[in-house]
Amino acid sequence: MITSAFGVLFDGFAYGMLLFLLSVGLSVTLGMMNFVNLAHCTFGMIGGYVTVTLINSFGWPFLATLPVAFLAAAAFSIVCERTMFRRLYRSTDLDQCLLTIGLVFVSIACTAYVYGTIQQPVQLPDYLRGSVQMAGITFGVYRIFLIVFALIVTGALVATLEYTRFGAQVRAAVDNQRMARGLGINVDSAFAITFALGSGLAGLGGALAIDIVGLDPSFALAYLVYVLIVVAVGGLGSIGGSFVAAMLLGISDMAGKYYFPAIGSFLIYLVMISLLMWRPAGLFGKRV
């Protein structure tokens, strides 16, 4: 039983990594500018559809589509930011919610129009399929890939944040925006870059998610709830927080379903509510 539990936990970990990729961008942008971007998962969805189109219509290999998914989502987010989001930085939370939800609706309708409502299948290259046996436990190859890839991305993110000047600027802006401006840091441009990066990561997450959770136009809304949970529980502006929260979510979801299938779906919400009541600012958040 222990060995099969490991197998389940491993999958939970992979799922958590996926959620992390999808959520980290939102956490940082929320922490920096307090801009509630509910269309975050739309960027994820765009990344997914870009990958699907490149593979199915142009025959690109899967791995080659990933950078394109990243760039496409980032580019799209920059366009949105310049034209619409910019005007609402000083607005209330609700207005931001409303605008971005409107964007989500439009994106769902457009993708339904262009791609139809069916699930988009994606053919993974052979070396990413199947499973390997290690110590009597079966590990899915794709999930191993996902975990490794996400860890590399995390490492890159943390390195950027800790060791580059840009990272220092971002950290300063998250901690205290006014002060950062006062010190001459160009918060607006730092934010624009961070926003694009975060959305690009969401796009990457969306592309990687197709094999695990499927892709259809409702992706933009369906995963929003999970992403919000990760962001809230992890704490705004904290990469480490998002990481831990995503892990927690992924593993408790899996473990819940394995050990208590009857209440499996409850568990996430109970965990989230309890955690938030204990620490309203999130596990690693600095402010509410």
Partner 1 sequence: MPRIMTGLACLAATLLAATSAHAQGTVKVGAILSYSGQFADTGIQLDNGIKLYMKQHGDTVAGKKIEIVRKDNAGIAPDVAKRLAQESIVRDKVDILAGFDLTPNAMAAADVSVQAKKFMVNMNAATSIVITKSPYMVRTSFTVAMVNEALGTWAYKTGSRRAYTLVSDFAPGHDGEQAFQRAFKEAGGEIVGSARYPTSNIDFTAFIQRAKDANPDVIYIWTPGGTQPAAIGKSIAERGIDKSKIRIVGQGELAFEEALKGMGDAGLGIITAFHYDYNHQSPTNKAFVEAYNAEFKRNPDMFSVGGYDGMHVIYEALKKTNGNTDAEALVNAAKGLKWESPRGPMSIDPETRDVVETVYIRKVEKVNGQLVNVEIDKIENQKDPSNARMKK
Partner 2 sequence: MTAPSPAIAGPHQYLETQIRWRVIEILFWLSTLLPFVLAPDYLVLASQVAITALFALSLDLILGYAGIISLGHAAFFGFGAYAAGLTAKWGWGEPITGLAIAGVAAGLLGYLMSFIIARFRHLALIMITLGFGLLLLEAANSAGWLTGGADGLQGVRMWPLFGMFKFDLYGVTAYWYALIVLFVLFLVARRLTNSPFGLSLRGIRENAVRMRAIGAESRPHLRKIYTLSAVMAGIAGAVLTQTTETVSLGVLDFQRSADILVILILGGAGRLYGGIVGAIIYLIARDQFSGINPQYWYFPIGVLLIVVVLFLPNGILGGFAQLIYSERGQRWFGWLTGPLRRGRKS
Which phi-psi region, left, alpha or beta, contains residue 92 (left: φ > 0; alpha: ψ -120 to 50)? beta
Binder of partner 1 out of 19, 44, 66, 211 (CB under 8 A): 211
- Choose among partner 1, partner 2, none what residue 261 binds, the Cβ cut-off being 5 to 8 Å by kind: partner 1
Are 229 and 272 contacting, i.e. CB atoms less than 8 angstroms apart? yes
Stretch that binds partner 1, among 26-34, 92-100, 177-185, 206-214 (CB under 8 A): 206-214
Sign, CA dihedral 254-157-162-90, equals: negative
Are 198 and 247 contacting, i.e. CB atoms less than 8 angstroms apart? no
> Per CB under 8 A, does 81 bind partner 1?
no
Binder of partner 1 out of 60, 160, 175, 214 (CB under 8 A): 214
Binder of partner 1 out of 59, 94, 133, 178 (CB under 8 A): 133
- Choose among partner 1, partner 2, none what residue 123 binds, the Cβ cut-off being 5 to 8 Å by kind: partner 1
For residue 133, the cross-strand partners are 138
Binder of partner 1 out of 107, 202, 216, 235 (CB under 8 A): 216
Q: Which DSSP state fits 38?
A: T
Identity of the residue, 257 or 287, whose beta carbon is nearer to partner 1 in the bound complex: 257
d(CA 49, CA 69): 8
> Per CB under 8 A, does 119 bind partner 1?
yes
Are 154 and 20 contacting, i.e. CB atoms less than 8 angstroms apart? yes
Nearest distance, CB of residue 202 and partner 2, angstroms: 19
Strand ranges (DSSP E) for the chain?
131-134, 137-140
Question: What tokens were used for 273?
Answer: 């509510």
- Choose among partner 2, partner 1, none what residue 94 binds, the Cβ cut-off being 5 to 8 Å by kind: partner 2
Identity of the residue, 112 or 183, whose beta carbon is nearer to partner 1 in the bound complex: 112
d(CA 219, CA 272): 22
Nearest distance, CB of residue 250 and partner 2, angstroms: 17
Query: Contact positions toward partner 2, by CB under 8 A?
Result: 30, 84, 87-88, 91, 93-95, 97-99, 101-110, 112-113, 117, 225, 228-229, 231-233, 236, 262-263, 265-266, 269-270, 272-273, 276-277, 280-282, 288
Residue in 276, 192, 286, 200 with CA at minimum distance from that of residue 233? 276
Binder of partner 1 out of 106, 113, 129, 288 (CB under 8 A): 129
> Per CB under 8 A, does 254 bind partner 1?
yes
Residue in 270, 266, 230, 235 with CA at minimum distance from that of residue 248? 230
Question: What tokens were used for 194?
Answer: 């961070």
